[in-house]
């Protein structure tokens, strides 16, 4: 009996965005945020924080995005907390985007892909963030693994940190910027799904804080895939900025907020209310 092909990530993401609103909430257990919640900067505090966020939001928001580094710093016990968070969030209906920003070549990139994009892995996620700055072709193991498992990738393109411009805005010999080249590669990866009228599974990370340079982006954002937009909240951007930055592509934007929601914890109902307000604000500008 032939096993049916998995539903592509882009299709599942569009469904989740339509049903729950286009919002991604980061799970970023900074030491300072743990302290604000009255928790210790230890594995017990990490676990309490993570369970609270997952229990409150996994049944309500489209995407949860754990930042792997904040779990890795506690070693194997922190990774165990992360594994449970991934499983619990997916069981509750949220898509999990692992914010790992991995990037390497050859067998090492293949091993990263196996960690996050192989359904047999305890860290298997619906999508993962990756870095293309060893060349877009170095991402091929992750792209192929995502295609095989129905997962997605989000590739760093125009990030919200100001330091990123020295690489991302650099021009190639033909005058094309590095970021534009990354976006063009993603559009090509999404061509098959776009031909079926579906949202592609290969997305870009484009900061919501790029309003001042929006006129330099233009049609390059039409990659036929999702656009993860960090920078809302603590970094200064608001949902109202999204149409200026993303233009006609705003419907494919997945705004990402972390501290703007997490600061309302540890009260679960306050987290729910903050996420709902943000989702409503995003929905209003995306429609």
Number of C-beta neighbours around residue 36 at 10 A: 14
Which two tokens mark 77? 């016990």
> Are 107 and 77 within 8 A, CB to CB?
no
Active site residue 65: no
Choose the catalytic residue: 65, 101, 187, 263.
101
> Are 54 and 269 within 8 A, CB to CB?
no
Distance CA 99, CA 122 (A): 15
Number of C-beta neighbours around residue 103 at 10 A: 20
Q: Is 38 left (phi over 0), alpha (psi -120 to 50) or beta?
A: left
**3-state secondary structure labels for all residues of 8-66:** CHHHHHHHHHHHHCCCEEEECCCHHHHHHCCCCCCHHHHHHHHHHHHHHHCCCCCEEEE
> Are 57 and 94 within 8 A, CB to CB?
yes
C-alpha separations of 55 from 35, 79, 99 in Å: 20, 18, 19
The catalytic residue positions are 101
């Amino acid at each position: 009996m032939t096993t049916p092909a998995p539903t592509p990530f882009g299709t599942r993401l569009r469904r989740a965005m339509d049903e729950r609103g286009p919002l991604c909430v980061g799970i970023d257990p900074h030491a300072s945020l743990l302290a604000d919640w009255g928790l210790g900067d230890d594995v017990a505090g990490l676990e309490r924080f993570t369970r609270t966020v997952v229990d409150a939001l996994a049944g309500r928001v489209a995407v949860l995005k754990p930042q792997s580094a904040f779990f890795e710093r506690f070693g194997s016990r922190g990774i165990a907390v992360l594994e449970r968070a991934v499983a619990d969030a997916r069981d509750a209906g949220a898509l999990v985007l692992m914010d790992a920003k991995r990037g390497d070549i050859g067998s090492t990139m293949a091993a990263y892909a196996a960690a996050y994009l192989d359904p047999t892995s305890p860290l298997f996620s619906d999508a993962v963030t990756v870095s293309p700055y060893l060349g877009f072709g170095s991402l091929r193991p992750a792209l192929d693994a995502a295609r095989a498992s129905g997962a997605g990738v989000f590739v760093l393109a125009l990030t919200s940190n100001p330091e990123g411009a020295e690489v991302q805005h650099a021009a190639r010999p033909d005058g094309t910027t590095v970021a534009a080249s990354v976006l063009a590669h993603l559009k090509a990866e999404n061509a098959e799904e776009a031909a079926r009228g579906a949202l592609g599974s290969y997305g870009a990370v484009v900061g919501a804080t790029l309003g001042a340079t929006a006129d330099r982006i233009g049609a390059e954002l039409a990659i036929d895939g999702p656009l993860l937009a960090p920078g809302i909240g603590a970094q200064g951007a608001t949902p109202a900025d999204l149409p200026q930055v993303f233009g006609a592509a705003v419907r494919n934007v997945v705004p990402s907020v972390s501290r703007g929601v997490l600061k309302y914890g540890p009260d679960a109902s306050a987290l729910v209310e903050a996420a709902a307000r943000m989702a409503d604000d995003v929905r209003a500008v995306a429609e």
